[in-house]
Structure 1
Amino acid sequence: MEFSSLSEWLAFIEAVHPVEIELGLARTRAVAEELGLLETSGPKVITVAGTNGKGSTVAYMGAMLKAGGYRFGAYTSPHFLRYNERVQLDGEAVSDALLCEAFSCVEAARDRCNVSLTYFEYGTLAALWIFRQQPLDVVLLEVGLGGRLDAVNVIDPDVAVVTTVSLDHEAWLGADLEQIGLEKAGIFRATAKAVLGDPGLPASVAAKARSLGVEPLVLEQDFGRRKGVEDWCFYGVDQSNAARSIGAIGEPRLPEENAATAIQALLSAGLALSDEAVRTAVSRARLTGRWQECAYHGRKLVLDVAHNPQAAAYLGARLAREEGTTRCVLGMLDDKDVRGCIKALAPHVTDWCLASLGVPRGLPATVLLDALQQTDSEALATCHDTVDEALDRAVAESAAGERILVAGSFFTVAGVLARLEQEQ
């Protein structure tokens, strides 16, 4: 099978498998082995799983590697505007041509193996193939869903990171935190360092590491942050467990705990990081759709993909530190805890513009309104057929300089990002 454009390849891989999500490693492993992707020699591999914080942790590590002069590849998901965002080399999205070449190689190997692949499995294998063609020092792999049965888990990591665990994707991962934690801990290996980015993770996570003979490094126990007046200090250990500290780190735009987790993960991989490279990276690290600020018609837009209660609570705490009022453009999917998210944001929002999402699993605005009214019967809210219409209303009802929050889903944020790009 051959196609001349990336859009044709993406249409093909999206349609070829009978279901969107089908967890399991057998199909991916068979094709990866056929492509020679399971060879153990090569760059250091750091795999990151977690309900929230995966993207920020990978973004921090990428910024630190770049500042330190390392060559690295990063595979993340989902994307906002272009598929290329998922596969990066040294912080830059790869070209259409390279992705097409990768998909062609994956498809040929898949055909020889006589197996079917999901959209995510195709993408994972394409990213791994691209990384194999490059002289890289480090590969950063972000788990798509869960960990144990996620396609990226065909690769054995040198360092395995679990950032946070909360209720999300229960239909695939389990209905309680211990079970979900165990799924995410499936990325651990007996030969890999384990880094836990939250001291309150379910007991099943650390227990899984210890069952493999690995003592995990835990945030606020083995590594973490010490706050100063205007900055903070990292404390942790290097690959040989010798103490390491880095002082005078400025306040970042992304969560500090993820910065500390990223530093510890890189140190655990045996990478040399100068204090200055870390300071530079922490101050520069950014991530699309995570407290992403931009101006729009004189308003202050804040774009954040928060779509579960834990992420919404973090976003609410961030809003509490800001001056002024917040209007919220909210659109969500039907497998999310809508009431939990709204409850976390409601104390910080003065007016809601609720948007229907015209995508699979997208919720009508009226369902969001019902959830909002159960939380706050006096909340000010309007319902809209699209994210564009909801944003128009938020702009029309606000004054210059006021803040408009766009949240609830990658689709909600992507819709606004597409509009911003179109109007530039």
Structure 2
Amino acid sequence: MNYSELDYRKSIDYLHSLEKFGIKLGLERIKKLLAALGNPEKDFKTIHVAGTNGKGSVCAMIASVLKESNYKTGLYTSPHLIDFRERIVINGKKIPKQKISVLIKDMRRVADKMRPHPTYFEFITALAFKYFSEQKVDFAVVEVGMGGRFDATNVIYPEVSIITNVSFEHTEHLGKTIKKIAKEKAGIIKCGRPVITSAKGVALKVIENKCKELKSNLIILDEKSFDEKDMNINNQKFVLYGVKEDYNLTSRLVGKHQMLNACCAVACAELLGIRKGYVIKGIKNVFWPGRFEVVQKNPVIILDGAHNPDGIKALKNTLVKIFGNKKIFFVISICSDKDIEKMIREIAPLVKEIVITKHAVMNRAANPLVIKKLAEKHVSKYANNIVVKKTVKTALNYVRKKARKDDIICVTGSIFTVAGAKEVL
């Protein structure tokens, strides 16, 4: 191991040490930290993306389109799957290890003197903005971490704000009603700057009212914004009806929900004046791991980070669309703060065998025995094969030994479950 690798590991250890400061919503600390760093977030144009589901995919699509348009494009997302550096990317290339070490060393001189100390997410958000500034990106596509209004990313004044959709999540921080959660997400809307959303119902009304208040033009998208042509395990083809023109698109991100996500990305591209050819190429080339990602065939192994009822419903619909009523081996671990029963009930009719396990991230995984009890209630109507394994690795190894070449294995329940599978595969 050379010095730079050792230094990098120490830097990552330092970042992990910041987790002790917990989740603290608010902008005071991040603004103070960024000011001490020279306000790097003001050095480039930004696109800001919030939403319960799909915001990472939308970010990846927009970044891909901007890259094809020859813009130097930063992409800041969370969480990561395997490597921390996945969070901070320029034109598809992860931030170098040495650069992380240097930036953290410099930033600690400021952050470690602050009281209260910046949280983990605040620190890495500032790190991303500092890196993008130093590298002179033209655009940064920025994914909200949690909510929006008091999220550490909400210090930017974006060219476009996007709110994909709104459903129940992080209710202990964002509120226990859709109206309250939508209000938090609508907090990213800035005066006079355009807004794109595919939200519905009460959430849409909240967003509409906020846009009226701030005189921001609102583009509303729904399933009438596209027509599906073909969907298979490798890609999908669809016609997307943009605000300015229509697009015949092919994408490796599969599922009807991804077509709607593409509508958000294309609407953003149109607002930015991106040429049609670049849009088509950007959507075709985008890859976003852990989203209906097929990592093996014979048997088929699919990794999907669906982590809440709406995400699981979208996954189920995609599985049915591609495979019909074929029964599936599920490997699943779910975070304890999710509506586990709704998620299990949603996939129950598709289950051939369900293997319940526990992912290894920050002790957030639900007790497998809790999930098993719910599976016995809902899955047993369709299949009697309910198994518990200690780790994602042992669960996946168990299923791979049982599955035949024509079977389907789906690993889901959390992006952390997918991460555990990727370390094995």
3-state DSSP class of the match of 2:322? coil
> Mean alpha-carbon deviation: is it higher for 387-396 or for 137-146?
387-396
User: Using a 3 Å threshold, how does the CA distance of structure 1 residues 85 and 15 change in structure 2: closer, same or farther?
Assistant: same
Partner of 1:257: 260
Partner of 1:321: 321
3-state DSSP class of the match of 2:287? coil
Deviations 1:190-231 (A, max 9, x none): 03211113344442122222221223111049x932556895
Does the aligned pair in 1 maintain the 2:148–2:154 contact within 8 Å?
Answer: yes
Does the aligned pair in 2 maintain the 1:246–1:275 contact within 8 Å?
Answer: no
Does the aligned pair in 2 maintain the 1:178–1:202 contact within 8 Å?
Answer: no
User: Using a 3 Å threshold, how does the CA distance of structure 1 residues 58 and 408 change in structure 2: closer, same or farther?
Assistant: same
> Mean alpha-carbon deviation: is it higher for 50-59 or for 13-22?
13-22
Q: Give 1 or 2: higher helix fraction.
A: 2
Structure 2 residue 358 is the aligned partner of structure 1 residue 353: no
Equivalent-residue separation in structure 2 for 1:356 and 1:294 (angstroms): 21
Which of 396, 403, 408 aligns to 2:413? It is: 408
Q: How many Å apart are 1:388 and its aligned residue?
A: 1.2
TM-score, L = length of structure 1 = 0.90
Does the aligned pair in 1 maintain the 2:253–2:288 contact within 8 Å?
Answer: no
Equivalent-residue separation in structure 2 for 1:64 and 1:156 (angstroms): 21
One-letter amino acid matched to 1:278: V
Instruction: Provide the alpha-carbon RMSD of the alignment.
Output: 2.2
Segments of structure 2 that go 5 or more residues without pairing to the other structure are 231-235
TM-score, L = length of structure 2 = 0.90
> Mean alpha-carbon deviation: is it higher for 164-173 or for 194-203?
194-203
Partner of 1:241: none
Q: How many Å apart are 1:334 and its aligned residue?
A: 0.8
Q: How many Å apart are 1:328 and its aligned residue?
A: 0.2
Does the aligned pair in 2 maintain the 1:37–1:132 contact within 8 Å?
Answer: no
Segments of structure 1 that go 5 or more residues without pairing to the other structure are 238-243
Q: How many Å apart are 1:400 and its aligned residue?
A: 1.3
Partner of 1:33: 35
Equivalent-residue separation in structure 2 for 1:13 and 1:125 (angstroms): 12
Equivalent-residue separation in structure 1 for 2:5 and 2:109 (angstroms): 12
User: Using a 3 Å threshold, how does the CA distance of structure 1 residues 202 and 247 change in structure 2: closer, same or farther?
Assistant: closer
User: Using a 3 Å threshold, how does the CA distance of structure 1 residues 81 and 182 change in structure 2: closer, same or farther?
Assistant: same
Deviations 1:322-364 (A, max 9, x none): 2243110001111111111111111222210111234412222
One-letter amino acid matched to 1:170: T
Equivalent-residue separation in structure 2 for 1:352 and 1:391 (angstroms): 11
Quote the sequence identity (%). Answer: 28
Partner of 1:236: 242
Partner of 2:80: 79
Equivalent-residue separation in structure 2 for 1:391 and 1:81 (angstroms): 17
One-letter amino acid matched to 1:211: E
Superposed, which structure 2 residues align to 1:12-411 within 5 Å? 12-16=14-18, 18-37=20-39, 40=42, 42-111=43-112, 113-200=114-201, 201-220=203-222, 224-226=225-227, 231-237=237-243, 244-250=244-250, 252-254=252-254, 255-268=258-271, 270=272, 272-295=273-296, 298-323=298-323, 324-359=326-361, 360-378=363-381, 379=383, 380-411=385-416
Equivalent-residue separation in structure 2 for 1:228 and 1:354 (angstroms): 35
Q: How many residue pairs align between the two structures?
A: 408
Does the aligned pair in 1 maintain the 2:5–2:97 contact within 8 Å?
Answer: no
